[in-house]
Amino acid sequence: MEALERYLEAVGRHLRGGRREDIVAELRANLEAQLDDKQAELGRPLTTQEAEAWLKQLGAPLQMAARYQAQRYLIGPEIFPIYWLVMERALGWAAVIYAVVSLVLLATETPNAQSVVDALVRLPGVLLWVAAWVTLIFALIEYGAARDPQKWQGLAEQAACFPKAEFAARQRSGRHGKRRRTLAHAVAEAVFGFLFLVWLLLIPQHPWLMMGPGAAVWKALPYALAPVWMTFYWWVVAAHAVQLAWLCVELARGTWQKKRGLRLVVVKAIELIPINVLLYAPGQVLLVLRDPGRDGARLSATLNGWNEGLHKAVLVIAILVAAQIVWTLVNLVWMRGRGEAK
């Protein structure tokens, strides 16, 4: 029957994977048997209209084909409550951060009604971006969960981390016990990590993002940052990008709840690079004069004092970071000894 053939062909078009022909053949056998019964009951073949009405009852070909596919979600019911929680918080924080940044921007400019309206008009776009990122991250998690359900078993329970259970776990593990990272925490880290990266990248063009109204004061000073600070800046950006990428990989692989000892050590080690860039700046010069010809004679002694002080401060920071790395490593070894760092 032509109508049945057309229906089966349409179902086949919507099926994916290597089982397409097998499914269509089975469906054909079942529907042909059903058709035989119908025709035997009527004592005549079905008319085209009757056949089309019958096929319509079976459901649209797309619907029929969809029933044969594994059920898929962009964000499934198990993860959805956490997604919603993170979304609410991310949007709330994004709105607060945006409001603060806009207020600082308005304070540094000559405020007028148009700039206030512009800031308000931009807000939905910013929130949409945040929502898109949160959704993308959770969709990746859902994809990982669908591919490897064993690894993601009990995801909601682990992610929700009921306060009482968490408290009891902490009580059991004593004062050294640390809270395991929840999924909500890990996703929030990724979202805010991304926002922080964007913020970092905007700083060279918009210094007020870091200094606020102080940016205008800084411009008026006779001192400027030495070129080595740009190298430092790009290393900071790279260190943060590595940290963010690592977290995204952990989320995609479903290993976000594991202890972060190794990541902390690596991140701290990467952080040492920009600090060393400053520590070994040519001539230990971190500040220069904007106009050496004009201010050289008057301010060179002060400038040398500033550079010496800054160099010592960087040295102290480098020692502190190195000590943190050693401390993290000692903790890792100690926890492994207790069999906790798995």
Q: Where does this chain bind other proteins (CB under 8 A)? A: 23, 25-27, 29-34, 37, 58-59, 63-64, 67-68
Could you tell me the smallest distance in angstroms from the CB atom of residue 25 to other proteins? 7
Could you tell me the smallest distance in angstroms from the CB atom of residue 14 to other proteins? 12
Give the amino acid at 221.
Answer: L
Strand partners of residue 287: 225
The Cβ-side half-sphere exposure at 13, using a 13 Å CA radius, reads 9
**Closer residue to other proteins (CB): 9 or 37:** 37
State the Cα–Cα distance between residues 249 and 253, nearest whole angstrom.
6
**Closer residue to other proteins (CB): 59 or 111:** 59
Could you tell me the smallest distance in angstroms from the CB atom of residue 38 to other proteins? 11
Percent helix, strand, coil in the chain, to 5, is 75, 0, 20
**Closer residue to other proteins (CB): 150 or 205:** 150
State the Cα–Cα distance between residues 23 and 29, nearest whole angstrom.
10
H or E element: which one contains 224? Answer: strand 223-225
Look at residue 288 and give its three-state secondary structure. strand
Q: Which segments of the chain are extended strands (E)?
A: 223-225, 287-289
Could you tell me the smallest distance in angstroms from the CB atom of residue 10 to other proteins? 13
**Closer residue to other proteins (CB): 52 or 340:** 52
Q: Is 271 exposed, middle or buried (0-12, 13-18, 19+ CB in 10 A)?
A: buried
**Closer residue to other proteins (CB): 29 or 225:** 29
Could you tell me the smallest distance in angstroms from the CB atom of residue 13 to other proteins? 16
Could you tell me the smallest distance in angstroms from the CB atom of residue 59 to other proteins? 5
Q: Is 273 exposed, middle or buried (0-12, 13-18, 19+ CB in 10 A)?
A: middle
Cα angle 184, 190, 196 (rounded to 5 degrees) comes to: 130
Could you tell me the smallest distance in angstroms from the CB atom of residue 34 to other proteins? 5
**Closer residue to other proteins (CB): 63 or 173:** 63
Could you tell me the smallest distance in angstroms from the CB atom of residue 188 to other proteins? 34
**Closer residue to other proteins (CB): 19 or 219:** 19
**Closer residue to other proteins (CB): 59 or 296:** 59
Answer for the pair 101, 208: CB distance below 8 angstroms, yes or no.
no
Encoded tokens for 275:
């600090």
